[in-house]
Every structure is written in C-alpha cells, then in structure tokens.
Amino acid sequence: MRFSISVPGSLARQLDRMVAQKGYDNRSLAVADMIRAHLVEHHQQFGDKEIAGAITLLYDHHKQHVQAVLTDIQHDHHEVIIATLHVHLDHHNCMEILAVRGKAGLIKRIADELIAAKGVKHGKLTVTSTGKDLPT
C-alpha cells in the first residue's frame, strides 16, 4: 500500500541522511521499521497483550544476597522467563539478560522488581512483540 505524508523539508532531509547512515535500501523500509517500533511500544500499555522481550541487568555478584534475590524472583515466575543469559564481565560485574514472554503487565512488574533489587546497578526492559500480529 502506498500513501503519502507531508513533513517539514528539513525533517525529510534529516530522515534521508539517517536512512543512508543506517544502511536502509530506501526510505519506505526505514519508515515502516519506525512504525513497527512504535506499534510495539504502543501495545505495551495494554496489560493483557502477550509480548516477548529482554530484561537486561547489571550487578556485582559479590554484593550480599543480590544473586539469591534475583534467582528467587526469577523462579517465582519461571513460566514467563524462557532462559537467562549470564555474562561474566569481569571479576565483579555480571550482565544478565532474561528472555521473557507473557502478558505485558506481568512482565513489567517482574522487570520492576528485578531492577529495584538492592545491588542491581542498572536494568532495563526491552519489549518486542511475539511477532504474531506484526506484519513484515
């Protein structure tokens, strides 16, 4: 489907520069990707929608109990946590990436709980879709 949009000239020029820098073949492919990205984010607000995604955590495993707490939270929700990828960054720092899938509301609550745990330096929930209702 073809449709046309009107945007300020300077914005269009910046768009074209970004499209080239990111290596897209053409402007339509880039804009379609942006629309999909915003759809994914838009769908997050509906708590019951099924999403997939990643929770990224950074912590020092020497901090008292942090790992035990994170593992307990994860086992409490093992039905939505597919698997966890643990990277030993150095002697102290761990990056843990949880692949998750489930209702958006629950996933958000689990992410909040993990990120708020004492000893976690940084955490982020990255939401994508399960792909079922996202046209290519």
Task: Count residues near a second copy (CB under 8 A).
Answer: 90
Q: Report the 10 Å Cβ neighbour count for 29.
A: 11
Tokens representing residue 39 in the block: 């759809």
Q: What are phi and psi of 7, to 5 degrees?
A: -135, 160
Q: Of 48, 60, 102, 107, which one interacts with a second copy (CB under 8 A)?
A: 60
Asked if 47 interacts with a second copy (CB under 8 A), we say: no
Least distance between a second copy and beta carbon 106 (Å): 14
Asked if 9 interacts with a second copy (CB under 8 A), we say: yes
Asked if 48 interacts with a second copy (CB under 8 A), we say: no
Contact 78, 23 (CB under 8 A): no
Q: Of 44, 48, 49, 101, which one interacts with a second copy (CB under 8 A)?
A: 101
Q: Of 49, 103, 105, 119, which one interacts with a second copy (CB under 8 A)?
A: 119
Residue 11 region, left (φ>0) first, then alpha (ψ -120 to 50), else beta?
alpha
Q: Of 49, 84, 103, 106, which one interacts with a second copy (CB under 8 A)?
A: 84
Q: What are phi and psi of 54, to 5 degrees?
A: -135, 135
